[in-house]
């Protein structure tokens, strides 16, 4: 599969949201990255790397919702059941959550958005919030069979919260976290039945979202079956080439 295809025209990018001081250094344009990909495509891992590289926040709607569930907040109570079933939380609730997060001051330099938009309604709302021409959209493409394999071994440390793989998918608690010694546990929504439902939900909702973005010159597809370093290289090549044209 091709590494990364995309940028093919010179459509104008929006001005940076960093203020331009008179006679000051040229402003660095904000980077607005939207990552799309099936569960288990490595989106979260790559989002963290991109955020570090460009010095921008990683905004994961799944992480925000999971910490709300852990904290037992009103939001957490509303979404816990939906998440465990592998279904989608309603557009209105998600949009309120993302709108509030994008108003935080750390977003002035941009963001890596991971997990939103998941429906065409959310994509249209995001265009309204950010401006369609300002978003760099990357699809991490991975076959279902590879995802099922990966999810069988995915665990999260219940102490340091790092996501990692275990060698033996059938003995889920046999290995301690190699970083802090904590317990490696399966996310409730990584249970095989829920994974199947999440993949079905992704297939149902993601295609129209991808079509929403596909014709944009800032859209690219990266082969997520490659080594993680190559996935990262494909993504940064695309982001940098879009930015070079702005």
Q: Which residues bind ligand ADP (CB under 6 A)?
A: 39, 61-62, 65, 82-83, 86-89, 94, 115-116, 118, 122, 189, 198
Phi, psi of 5 (to 5 degrees): -120, 160
Q: Which residue is nearest to ligand ADP (CB)?
A: 62
Residue nearer to ligand ADP on the CB measure, 66 or 109 = 66
Question: Is 198 an annotated catalytic residue?
Answer: yes
Residue nearer to ligand ADP on the CB measure, 89 or 210 = 89
Residue nearer to ligand ADP on the CB measure, 7 or 222 = 222
Q: Which of 66, 109, 118, 150 is labelled catalytic?
A: 118
Reference 69, options 81, 85, 87; nearest CA is: 81
Question: Is 187 an annotated catalytic residue?
Answer: yes
Residue nearer to ligand ADP on the CB measure, 109 or 198 = 198
Residues in the chain, total: 246
Q: How far is the CB of 230 from ligand ADP (least distance, A)?
A: 21
Question: Is 196 an annotated catalytic residue?
Answer: no
DSSP per residue, 71-139: HT-HHHHHHHHHHHTT-PPPHHHHHHHHHHHTTSGGGGGEEEEES---SHHHHHHHHHHH-GGGEEEEE
Please tell me the distance from the alpha carbon of residue 137 to that of residue 229, in angstroms, as a whole number: 19
| Helix ranges (DSSP H) in the chain | 43-54, 61-71, 74-84, 91-101, 120-130, 144-153, 192-214, 228-244
Active site residues: 43, 118, 154, 187, 198
């Amino acid at each position: 599969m091709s590494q990364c295809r995309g940028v093919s025209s010179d459509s104008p990018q929006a001005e940076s949201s960093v203020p331009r001081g008179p006679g000051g250094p040229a402003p660095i344009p904000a980077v607005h990255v939207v990552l799309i990909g099936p569960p288990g495509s490595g989106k979260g891992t790559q989002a963290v790397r991109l955020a570090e590289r460009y010095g921008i926040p990683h905004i994961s709607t799944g992480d925000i919702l999971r910490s709300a569930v852990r904290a037992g907040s009103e939001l957490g109570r509303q979404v816990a059941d939906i998440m465990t079933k592998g279904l989608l939380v309603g557009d209105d609730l998600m949009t309120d959550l993302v709108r509030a997060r994008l108003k935080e001051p750390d977003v002035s330099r941009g963001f890596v958005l991971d997990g939103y938009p998941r429906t065409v309604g959310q994509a249209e709302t995001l265009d309204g919030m950010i401006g369609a021409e300002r978003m760099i959209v990357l699809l991490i493409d991975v076959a279902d069979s590879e995802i099922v394999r990966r999810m069988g071994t995915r665990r999260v440390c219940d102490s340091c919260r790092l996501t990692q793989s275990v060698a033996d998918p059938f003995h889920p608690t046999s290995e301690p976290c190699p970083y802090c010694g904590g317990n490696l546990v399966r996310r409730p929504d990584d249970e095989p039945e829920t994974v199947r439902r999440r993949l079905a939900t992704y297939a149902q909702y993601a295609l129209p979202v991808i079509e929403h973005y596909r014709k944009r010159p800032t859209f690219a597809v990266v082969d997520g079956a490659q080594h993680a370093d190559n996935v990262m290289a494909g993504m940064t090549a695309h982001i940098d080439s879009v930015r070079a044209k702005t």
